[in-house]
Amino acid sequence: MTIRDETTVTHASDIAWVGSPERVVILRLSSLAAEPLTLTGSAAVIWQAVSSRRSIRDVVSEMGEVYGLPDEEIRESVVAFVSECLAQRVMVDVGS
């Protein structure tokens, strides 16, 4: 799927997760035989930024402030991470 700036995402409803600023562990409640997913570094920060519905534009902007980098440099990483989370079904696209 194509992820645009206005694409809005949040966590899937059938997960449990625990997190600190540096690390997040996600359990897929619909796939309990699977091992939990562990996110560290910027992935953990992005994950926690989408606890409530957020557009890619907002996430990129927030990450830019956190890491002191221009949005263009951040956007590619955010989109790649969100794509992976959508593929793993731990995030959902809730529209624009």
Partner 1 sequence: MTDALDLGEAVELGYPLASGVAAAHGIRLLCVKGPILGSQGLRDQKQSVDVDVLVEPAKFDALRAALVAVGWHQSGTYNTPGIVPLHSVTHRHPCWPVELDVHRWFPGFLADPSTVFEAFWQRRTSATLAHAPVPVPDHVSHAALAALHYLRDSATAWGQENLSQLAERVSRWEASELGELSDFAARTGAAETLGSFLVRVGAPDAGDGAPLVVSLSDWSMRAEADTQVVLPWLVGLRRLPWHRRPKYLAWSLWLNDAHFRAQSEEPMTRRDVMRARWRRLRRGLGAFPAARASARSLRERRAGDDDSR
H/E run at residue 9: strand 8-11
Residue 15, SS3 per DSSP: strand
Q: Which residue of 3, 5, 25, 77 would you call a contact of partner 1, by CB under 8 A?
A: 25
Shortest CB 22 distance to partner 1, Å? 12
Q: What is the Cα gyration radius of the chain?
A: 13
Nearer to partner 1, 38 or 96 (CB): 38
Nearer to partner 1, 35 or 72 (CB): 35
Residue 32 is a binding residue for partner 1 (CB under 8 A): yes
Q: Which residue of 4, 6, 22, 29 would you call a contact of partner 1, by CB under 8 A?
A: 29
Question: Quick check: 91 and 82 in contact, CB under 8 A?
Answer: yes
Residue 96 is a binding residue for partner 1 (CB under 8 A): no
Torsion-angle region of residue 4: left (phi > 0), alpha (psi -120 to 50) or beta?
A: beta
Residue 52 is a binding residue for partner 1 (CB under 8 A): no
